[in-house]
Amino acid sequence: MLPFKTNVSIFILEFLCSVILQIFYSVAAYGLERAFIVAFGLIPVLLVFLLSMRTENEKVVIRCLAVAGISSLYYMSYASNTQGMLVFMFLATATTIALFLNQRILIEYFGVTLVILVLMGLFQQEVIISFFDLSQYVAYITMYAFAGVALIFISYSVDNYKKDMEEKNEVAQEALEAKSNFLANMSHEIRTPMNAIYGMAELLEERDFGREEHEYIAVIKHSSENLLSIINEILDFSKVDSGKMVIEEDPYDFNEMLTDVVTIIEFRMRDKNIVMHLEIDSNIPKVLLGDETRVRQILINLLNNAVKFTNQGSITLRIVWNYDANSFNTGIGRLTIQVQDTGIGIAEENLPHLFTAFGQIDTKKNRNVEGTGLGLAICKSLADAMGGEITVSSKLKVGSIFTVTLPQKVYDSSPSNFEIRQWEKAGREEVFRPDFIAPKAKVLIVDDNKVNRQVAQELLKLFGIEAALAESGQEAIDKVTKNLVSYDLIFMDHMMPYMDGVEATRKIRLLNSNYARQVPIVALTANAIKGVEQQFLDSGMNDYLPKPIRIEMLSEILKRWIPQEKMFAPGTTMEEIEAREAAKPWISLSEEQKLARLDGIDTQTGIKNCAGNVNAYFELLRTYSGSNLATLLQQFYEAEDMENYAITAHSIKGASLSVGATDVADMAYSLERAGKRGDITYIWDHHDDLIEEYTKITSMLRKNFTGI
């Protein structure tokens, strides 16, 4: 169905043609003066057209068009003495009104125009018979009535069809939404245990096992990666199928992209007796402008297919660059990728079905080949979306050649001069070694799955970080609200029961504190649906770490968000770190660093006693450090004034409890009770211990708080 504004434009155009015909007739029959009078008939319709530009009420516009059309047509026919032709003009206008599919207005239009035509037949016969006799006019009115019924019926049928199609489209959209939700849930449900399997394998890889055990671990990791690859193919195909695949255009380094691809394929070739040849055009621009992720995906899919179906011989990757004709200066060219293998090949009759979804050819012979049969279908969809094409030539038992041509723009035209320098390392994986530790960093892991929490916690231990844990979004909010620990980083799981990570993050950001608004929150999620990253950022999260957690990616996240002053070189001992911390002037320390220096004091309890206000807590500590209660207690001790001694000990107990000096408070409470019962012996045995501990705390506070 055409849009409403288009139908209005068609009505105006059709009416304009009627006016022009009337004007030409008037000029020929009566002259310019009469034609000028006839032209005024266009004004009502033009006014309605302007109305349609200002209002969204379609029914009002349609009814106004119908009324304006009837009045203008009658006026022009009367002014030019062409009333006999009015039946045909009414019919032409009726067809355009029918375009709006409003049966009620159409019935009103035919009712009014039929009355006008009948009255004309009764009272204006002399004008009508100047065109044709009265019996013809009656026949025309009858035909007009039948045409009206037919138009109303057609309009009604089309309107019902339109509503039916809209309902079916709505059902289809709901099905697509359900499918998208299902895939998101499936991605999460499968990736969650895969995160545990892959994460535990990485942790085991760090242990000092024998060669055979490390081979077992490598198999676990490899199988996990294969399963994740299958999941990704299904999700990618779903995005293509539902029209959600978005092609980005950003600068990317060609050498880095190709190196990553080759490294992945090298790993997958390690158990096969095949070699890989690279023929890379040295003139490919260094930095291209396009969708790096999708170009990488096409390369990996094609090369991975070649590895799957080639058991001996070789795989050759050729990439050449050609500028489009007359476009060297505009920086547009074509990247031609060719993957040739000496594999099993494809029979000619199967080639037309090769790019069909789920279409593995000759599955009985290839049951040992992993995959979904979606890789080539995805490649074709991606190539089409980027304005390129993919072709194949193959011969059974000889091999295949896949060729992809992709338009790309040039960002930096310097030649890439790609070279492979590490072929001798094929089949070998380097164990990741963290290049920093951050034992002073405060990290919170929020995940409802116990295994996931354990995996993340163990991975963080590789960086010297002892992470705190939370089982739900609400628990995370409570920890941030109380602010007993100022976290440097929060890893927030996405899908959790009762309150998911997105909602928990929004609630944290709405808390009334700068800390809650600024603490870095990283989404830790198994949801691999494209576009979910933006949802995380919109909720107030700062970054995104997919599951299964890869140590390299975790390292980058930590480097990005852990404060620089809390990161140290590997091998740095805690004694060295503490010494460096102690050497820093107090005034230059952060609030958290200042609190960490307060040995012998439970700062969390002290802050809680100050309603979470750290600045108020510091003021309380400064007041506590300036107290002369130790001097008073010593005086009453020497005078053996048990009553005042107990009162002073009570004051020391209360003040110490307020700041979190619990050991001092306990000792003061014992001496307070001894003073009340007159137990001088107990006081003689324990007085000096209290004075020593109390003086140590106040001296430490005076030293630290100087200059605050």
Q: Where are the alpha helices (DSSP H) in 42-133?
A: 43-54, 58-79, 86-98, 103-123, 125-128
Determine the pLDDT at residue 701.
Answer: 80
Closest CA to 234 of 381, 374, 363: 374
Are residues 645 and 613 part of one domain? yes
Are residues 605 and 553 part of one domain? no
Q: Which amino acid is at 673?
A: R
Are residues 415 and 350 part of one domain? yes
**Contacts of 68-73 spanning 24+ positions with Cβ under 8 A:** 68/44, 69/11, 69/15, 69/45, 69/93, 69/97, 70/109, 70/112, 70/113, 70/116, 71/44, 72/15, 72/19, 72/41, 72/42, 72/43, 72/44, 72/45, 73/18, 73/41
460 touches 580 (CB < 8 A):
no
Q: For the chain, which residues score pLDDT lower than 50?
A: 358-359, 362-372, 420-429, 588, 707-708
From CA 569, how far away is CA 574, in angstroms rounded? 12
Are residues 250 and 366 part of one domain? yes
Determine the pLDDT at residue 463.
Answer: 92
Determine the pLDDT at residue 317.
Answer: 93
Q: Which parts of 455-520 are beta strand (E)? A: 468-470, 489-493
Are residues 531 and 607 part of one domain? no
φ, ψ of residue 170 to 5 degrees: the values are: -65, -40
Determine the pLDDT at residue 532.
Answer: 62
Are residues 466 and 608 part of one domain? no
DSSP conformational letter for 566 = G
Question: Which residues, listed in sequence order, are joined to residue 341 by a DSSP beta bridge?
Answer: 315, 400
| Residue 15 domain-assigned (yes or no) | yes
332 touches 410 (CB < 8 A):
yes
Are residues 367 and 337 part of one domain? yes
- The two three-digit tokens of residue 56, written as one number: 């969204």
From CA 649, how far away is CA 694, in angstroms rounded? 11
| Residue 447 domain-assigned (yes or no) | yes
List the domain range (segments joined by +) for residue 107.
4-131
- Domain end, chosen from 131, 165, 186, is at 131
| Residue 400 domain-assigned (yes or no) | yes
Class of residue 195 by CB neighbours under 10 A (exposed 0-12, middle 13-18, buried 19+)? buried
- The two three-digit tokens of residue 383, written as one number: 């190539």
User: What distances in angstroms separate CA 448 from CA 182, 409, 419, 487, 520, one per listed residue?
Assistant: 20, 45, 46, 19, 20
- The two three-digit tokens of residue 111, written as one number: 């009712």
User: What distances in angstroms separate CA 377 from CA 127, 233, 301, one per listed residue?
Assistant: 71, 10, 10
| Residue 82 domain-assigned (yes or no) | yes
Nearest-5° Cα angle at 264, 322 to 232: 95
Are residues 617 and 549 part of one domain? no
How far, rounded to the nearest angstrom, does the alpha carbon of residue 219 sit from its chain's CA centroid?
32
| Residue 177 domain-assigned (yes or no) | no
| Residue 314 domain-assigned (yes or no) | yes
φ, ψ of residue 388 to 5 degrees: the values are: -110, -160
Determine the pLDDT at residue 707.
Answer: 46
φ, ψ of residue 620 to 5 degrees: the values are: -65, -40
Closest CA to 414 of 480, 321, 346: 321
- β-bridge pairing 285-290 and 250-253: antiparallel
From CA 374, how far away is CA 190, in angstroms rounded? 19
405, containing H or E segment:
strand 399-415
| Residue 140 domain-assigned (yes or no) | no
Of how many residues is the chain composed? Answer: 708
Which of helix, strand or coil describes residue 94?
Answer: helix
Are residues 666 and 530 part of one domain? no
From CA 119, how far away is CA 205, in angstroms rounded? 98
Which of helix, strand or coil describes residue 252?
Answer: strand
| Residue 238 domain-assigned (yes or no) | no
Are residues 258 and 111 part of one domain? no
Determine the pLDDT at residue 430.
Answer: 52
φ, ψ of residue 106 to 5 degrees: the values are: -65, -40
- The two three-digit tokens of residue 138, written as one number: 């009656």
**Bond prior to 3 in cis (omega within 30° of 0):** no
DSSP conformational letter for 244 = -
Q: Which amino acid is at 316?
A: T
Closest CA to 95 of 65, 55, 123: 65
Are residues 466 and 542 part of one domain? yes
342 touches 310 (CB < 8 A):
yes
N- to C-terminal Cα separation, the chain = 75
- Evaluated on CA atoms 342, 348, 352, 356, the torsion sign reads negative
Query: What is the tally of structural domains in the chain?
Result: 4
- The two three-digit tokens of residue 549, written as one number: 């957690």
Which of helix, strand or coil describes residue 525?
Answer: strand
CATH label of the domain that carries residue 253:
3.30.565.10
CATH label of the domain that carries residue 562:
3.40.50.2300
- Domain end, chosen from 110, 131, 152, is at 131
Determine the pLDDT at residue 85.
Answer: 87
- Domain end, chosen from 113, 131, 149, is at 131
pLDDT digits (tens, 9 = 90+) for 397-414: 889 999 999 999 988 888
Are residues 11 and 109 part of one domain? yes
Determine the pLDDT at residue 426.
Answer: 38
- The two three-digit tokens of residue 352, written as one number: 């037309």
- The two three-digit tokens of residue 544, written as one number: 């995104």
